[in-house]
Amino acid sequence: MSSMFRSLAGYNYRLWAAGAFVSNVGTWMQRTAQDWLVLTELTDNDAFAVGLVMALQFGPLLILLPVTGLVADRFDQRTILMVTQATMGVLGLALGILTVTGVVELWHVYIFAALLGCAAAFDAPARQAFVSELVGGTNLSNAVALNSASFSAARMVGPAVAGMLTAVAGAGAVFLINAATFAAVLIALKMLRVRDLRREPRAARQRGDLAGGFRYIRRRPDIMVVLVMIFLVGTFGLNFGIYIATMARVEFGAGAAEFGVLSSIMAIGSVTGALLSAKRESPRMRFLIASSIIFALGCLLAAVLPSLWMFAAALVLIGVAAQTFMTTANGLVQLSTDAAVRGRVMAIYMAIFMGGTPIGAPVVGWIANEFGPRWSLVAGGAAGLIACAVGIGWLVQHQHLRVGFSGRRLRVIHDGSAEAGPDTVVPDEPNANGAVRGAGVRDNDVDDDDVSNDVSDGLPPRVTSRE
């Protein structure tokens, strides 16, 4: 099997990936139909209401943060996932019934968004940490990237199907189908070969457990800078439901089917970005910086394009950059975190990444209402540029790097030489149980050509170099 798909050689990961893909398709179908239902049927094109639904759905990740990460570290992650996935399936079924019967109101959507957010708050850190039980340490980065590819591929299929079904049968039918898709991941979890799981020791009960993840991150400035960057882009940049819905409806006068197609077109770029990340053996900080630049430029370009299909083409670029950014950030944090606190650290990561939505989504929705959808994209682009500046500032300050010329090319220079600073996180060797210790080893063995100016020129990540 090619290096891009090496994690699929294992039975457990292959089964999990199949079930998760089906469930992810349903999740994207529901998100698309839900945004359109709120925007066009329950309100009069109110982007703020769409932002508020997103805030309620992702807010619990932030509010429940002290508890969810500890639960992921303390209890069996497979059991947690079975409970959370079943809960989200039941909630999707209930919202579908309300919508099909014609009694759904805006406040119903608000309540169900908050309840789904609570279930997802416990699901997310357990799902992130569970990957290390499915695959060996050397394949963890690949598995993380393939998870992102699966999620993005579902994003390519789900919105297009949801758009067509919403136009034909209504949003309620989409919600019911989403509820049914949770059976796939539940069956996959049930059929896993438990004896083959790479079990890691559960965190011992001790005083200060809830704050353990924060204490760990405070000692890790490399993780802290990634979290700052992911907060900026995740909070103010990744509000695609608002961008695409308002641009399609308000700027271009499109309908539900076109809205779904636009979401799927952007997912083409997301799948591409995830698969390119899967080819790399370990994530690098400079790919995080480069992708934030490209994301910003893509948003600014999309904000000024005059036609629907030119806008759609820009969404592909945004999708590649956004997915590269997210996959790289996830890999940097997971691969360099000790197994005993990984659940808590990933809970903090997910809370910052998705929990910032309650702040950013209403703000971006208000910008779209007051100044027009194009200005909401400008806000997203600005967030990407600020994140890039934070990353470069950290490299300059903490890795003793500077930007300068070597020959005729602009390069990142380390201590006066034309070599890169230690911006690569590589996993430690697995221990006897196959678990990665994740001490955050840095790789300085980088040749001069590999340190070409991906960051300072703002070029897209090159698929020929391995991460």
Helix (H, G, I), strand (E, B) or coil at 33: helix
pLDDT > 90: what percent of the chain? 32
pLDDT confidence bin for 206, thresholds 50/70/90 = low
Q: What is the DSSP letter of 277?
A: H
Which residue has better confidence, 231 or 9? 231
Q: What is the pLDDT of residue 63?
A: 83
User: Which CATH fold would you assign to the domain 3-195+210-451?
Assistant: Growth Hormone; Chain: A; (1.20.1250)
Q: What is the pLDDT of residue 451?
A: 31
Q: What is the pLDDT of residue 136?
A: 65
Query: Is residue 155 over pLDDT 90?
Result: no
**Which segments within 350-459 are labelled E, that is strand?**
401-406, 409-414, 425-426, 441-442
Q: What is the pLDDT of residues 76-130, one digit of tens each?
A: 889 999 999 999 999 999 999 999 999 999 999 999 999 999 998 899 888 887 8
Q: Which whole number is the average pLDDT over 236-240? A: 88
Q: Which of 441, 428, 347 has its CA nearest to residue 130?
A: 347
Q: Which of 295, 338, 3, 32 has its CA nearest to residue 139?
A: 3
Residues 256 and 171 sit within 8 Å (Cβ to Cβ)? no
Q: What is the pLDDT of residue 373?
A: 93
Q: What is the pLDDT of residue 447?
A: 35
- Angle at which helices 140-169 and 256-279 cross, to 10°: 170
Residues 293 and 458 sit within 8 Å (Cβ to Cβ)? yes
Q: What is the pLDDT of residue 456?
A: 31
Please, what is the average pLDDT of the chain?
79
Q: Which of 263, 81, 91 has its CA nearest to residue 176?
A: 91
Q: What is the pLDDT of residue 55?
A: 84
CA 397 to chain centre: 28
Distance between CA 110 and CA 122 in Å, rounded? 19
Which residue has better confidence, 227 or 278? 227
- Which helix (H) or strand (E) segment holds residue 89: the answer is helix 77-100
Residues 409 and 453 sit within 8 Å (Cβ to Cβ)? yes
Bridge partners of 410, per DSSP, are 405
Residues 313 and 119 sit within 8 Å (Cβ to Cβ)? no
Query: Is residue 454 over pLDDT 70?
Result: no
Residues 6+ apart with CB under 8 A from 179: 26, 89, 90, 92, 93, 96
The CB density around residue 89, as the number of other CB atoms within 10 Å, is 21
Q: What is the pLDDT of residues 245-271, one digit of tens each?
A: 889 888 998 887 788 788 778 878 877
Q: Which whole number is the average pLDDT over 291-317? A: 94
Q: Which whole number is the average pLDDT over 296-325? A: 93
Q: What is the DSSP letter of 35?
A: H
Bridge partners of 442, per DSSP, are 425
Give the CA distances from residue 91 to residues 98, 105, 398, in Å, rounded to whole numbers and listed in that order. Answer: 11, 16, 46
Distance between CA 253 and CA 247 in Å, rounded? 8
Paired tokens of 308: 């629907």
Range from 12-16, 193-197, 460-464 carrying the lowest mean pLDDT:
460-464
Which residue has better confidence, 32 or 383? 383
Paired tokens of 138: 């050397």
Distance between CA 311 and CA 316 in Å, rounded? 9
Q: What is the pLDDT of residue 453?
A: 33
Most confident of 294-303, 440-449, 454-463: 294-303
pLDDT confidence bin for 399, thresholds 50/70/90 = low
Most confident of 186-190, 245-249, 278-282, 395-399: 186-190
Q: What is the pLDDT of residue 195?
A: 86
pLDDT confidence bin for 464, thresholds 50/70/90 = very low
Q: What is the DSSP letter of 281?
A: S
Query: Is residue 385 over pLDDT 70?
Result: yes
Sign of CA dihedral 413, 415, 418, 424: negative
Q: What is the pLDDT of residue 279?
A: 73
Query: Is residue 22 over pLDDT 60?
Result: yes
Q: Is 39 buried (19+), middle (13-18) or exposed (0-12) by CB count in 10 A?
A: buried
Range from 110-114, 270-274, 280-284, 458-462 carrying the lowest mean pLDDT:
458-462
pTM of the model: 0.66
Q: What is the pLDDT of residues 418-453, one digit of tens each?
A: 333 334 444 443 343 333 334 333 333 333 333 333
Length reported for the chain? 467
